[in-house]
Structure formats: structure tokens, C-alpha cells
Amino acid sequence: MCTEIVRHKSGIKWRNFYGRFKGKSLSARQHGSLHTEFEKYSLKNISWEENSKRKKIKLSEVFNEKSVWLEIGFGGGEHLVHQAKLNPDIGFIGCEPYQNGVAKLTGKLSADPCENIKLYDGDVRNIFDVLAKNSISKVFLLYPDPWPKKRHHRRRFVTQEFLAPLYETMKPGSILRIATDIEDYVRQALQEVPKAGFQWLAKDASDWRDPWQDWVSTRYEIKALKQERTPHYLTFTA
């Protein structure tokens, strides 16, 4: 008996997305900034609706030949804005499907613009589809959804479904940073990330216990510390 493959209206095999797109209702002000500011910062030709043939985008044109860093799941955007302000000669792509987080960031950008940021509000695998190999110089995965139940561990980002295409987009010698307060997430990351081709750079305990020198604590980390959970900071190279 044949099982019908569920497909997107564009014709490609459907990919499951695990996570939330929406949370609490947005205020009128948040709706306004989301509508006006997101369009200014939106990275084009990522979605299947815009780019059904999955034509590769040219980041050199988007960011005027700058090196490009990617933050996957930027939450409220605290770290993304911090890094973009700290590194004005770098182009930043922020990916966050959760509308409430995107609204928080666009509110910040409305008050304090940051010209070296581009945003995408969908599944990061759509970005991987249209990036050429060796496009990205640094990647941040900070306090990703832990999916704590064992049966949901396959939904975590640190699986080959996500890591393998991520590795293909990264330049040789580029850096992947992962921050999490979930010990089992650390375990899975240390098992799975090297399988995709990355090398863990830790030499002693301080390399995963101490934050990076250019680190800014996010609201997720502040919450973890209040609940007496220990942050871990993992650094890999492609």
C-alpha cells in the first residue's frame, strides 16, 4: 500500500515545523511596528511563495560584500541588536518564526534603527535552501527550544536534519555558538554537532562555563539564572 506524500502547494515535500508562530495578542503599537518595520528589514526571496524554484540568493548584494552572521531563533532580539551594533561592518540575518519575538525586535528597530540587519520570520531551513555553500561566517543558536520530553528530542535543532544543511552554508573555519541551560541539550549537542562536520573547540571547563567576551545576557538566560539553572556556552568550528 502506497502512502501519499504530503506536499506544499509549490509541489515540494512538506516539512514539519515544530514550534509556535503566535503567542499572546499583540498590542496596536506592536502590530504597527511589525507591519511597517518588518518590511524594511525583511530578507527577500526566502519563502517558497517568493522563490518556488529555490534560486540561490546573493548575500554579497544584500549586504554590500560584508561578511554575514546568522542568529537562529533571536527571541526578542537583544543579542542580535547587540552584535549588530558592536559589529557594523558585518551583515546579520536574524531568523525567528515566533511573531511576538519579531514584534519586540521591530519595536526596538523602530526606536533605534540598525541598517546591517535583515530578518526572516519562518523556518530557518527555508534560508538554508537558498544560501550558497560557504556563505556564513558565524552562527548563533542561543537558548533554543529545549523540547524536554524524550520523545520530542528529535525536534531539537541539534539533529542532522538541521545541522547538515547548516554546515553546508558555513565557511570553512567559521564559528557556531550554542548557549543553553539544559544539560541534556548539551549532551545531545556534543553528540550530534560533530557528526555534521563541526569540531568542538573547548580545551578546559572555562570554555563552556564562562560566556563569550562579547556576550550579552538574554531574557531567557536571566530567567534560567533566577531558576538556578546553569548556562553552558559551546563553541564549534566548521
Residue among 157, 158, 77 nearest 118 (CA): 77
Q: Are 154 and 193 in contact (CB under 8 A)?
A: no
Catalytic residue among 121, 129, 145, 214: 145
The C-alpha atoms of residue 230 and residue 131 are separated, in whole angstroms, by 34
The C-alpha atoms of residue 189 and residue 127 are separated, in whole angstroms, by 21
C-alpha cell at 123: 523556518
232-237/117-120 β-pairing: unpaired
Please count the other Cβ atoms lying within 10 Å of the Cβ belonging to residue 153.
17
Please count the other Cβ atoms lying within 10 Å of the Cβ belonging to residue 69.
23
Strand partners, 67: 90
Residue among 88, 96, 140 nearest 120 (CA): 96
Instruction: Specify whether 145 is catalytic.
Output: yes
The C-alpha atoms of residue 42 and residue 156 are separated, in whole angstroms, by 26
Catalytic residues: 145
